[in-house]
Amino acid sequence: MSRLLVACFVVFPFIGLFLTFPTSLTWDESILNTVAYVIVVGFVNVWLGMGTAWWLLFTESRWKSWVEWLTFLPLFIPVLASMFGMYIVLAQIGFIGTYTGVGLVLLVTTLPYSIRLAYNAMYVIGRPLLEQTLTLTPLTRIVFVLFPLMRESVRTIVLFSTVIVLSQFVLVQLIGAGLVPTVTTRLYQAYAGNDVSLALQHTWVLVSLPVLLYMGLDALFSIWIRLVKGRLQ
């Protein structure tokens, strides 16, 4: 019974969407911007998240605890507070209302979580096993061991950053100053203007992107692992 109840709660928000599937999808700037941000922010999160987690795991630097503290600081401070600080800095260097500024704000919001996710995954795999990869060249280490071994974490990082990118409205409006349209900003305009057709279309983009990305990553990792194993046969 409880499972049925949970299933109802999960399905409930989507019932209306499934009943009104848009017949056509118009690609506009906001969708392209959103897709571009999802790809770039996801890639940078995986790259920097795993790189920083690796450094934190292996470094003997006496600055380690400071870096760790600074990296995880955004996890403790409300995002809006830290973003307003960022707004002031970006305004000084002329990044307000630019694509770079919005990209930076999305990165700063997601990266601490990605580092934490990657670090936890590496911690669970264990330093002794990861040390075994140190006798391999860096490229072999990443291609043959790290990515296949951490595929679930990589997928979580990408999906997490995707969902954040897709759902950020206030920060994108604040830093983008209304000049950088994304699906979310369009969606709020559509809601405010009662444009149901436009709202529906963008809502479906919000739903489809993570699902497609999930399936895409699944396929990518399957191919990747098959190639790795094929190379070792």
Contact residues for other proteins (CB under 8 A)? 60, 128-129, 131-132, 134-138, 140, 144-145, 148-149, 225, 229, 231-233
Question: Is-contact 107 135, C-beta < 8 A?
Answer: no
141 versus 177: smaller Cβ distance to other proteins: 141
Residue 162 CA to residue 229 CA, distance in Å, equals 29
Q: How far is the CB of 21 from other proteins (least distance, A)?
A: 39
Would you say 60 or 194 has its CB closer to other proteins? 60
Kindly tell me which of 120 and 208 has the beta carbon lying closer to other proteins: 120
Shortest spacing between CB 72 and other proteins, in angstroms = 22
Residue closer to other proteins, measured from CB, 145 or 207: 145
Dihedral angle, C-alpha 49, 55, 61, 62, nearest 10 °: 30
The answer to whether the CB of 30 falls within 8 A of the CB of 38 is no
First to last CA, the chain: 49
Shortest reach from residue 131's CB to other proteins, in Å: 6
Closest CA to 208 of 196, 197, 220, 216: 216
Read off the tokens for 67: 């870096």
Cβ 149 to other proteins shortest distance, Å:
6
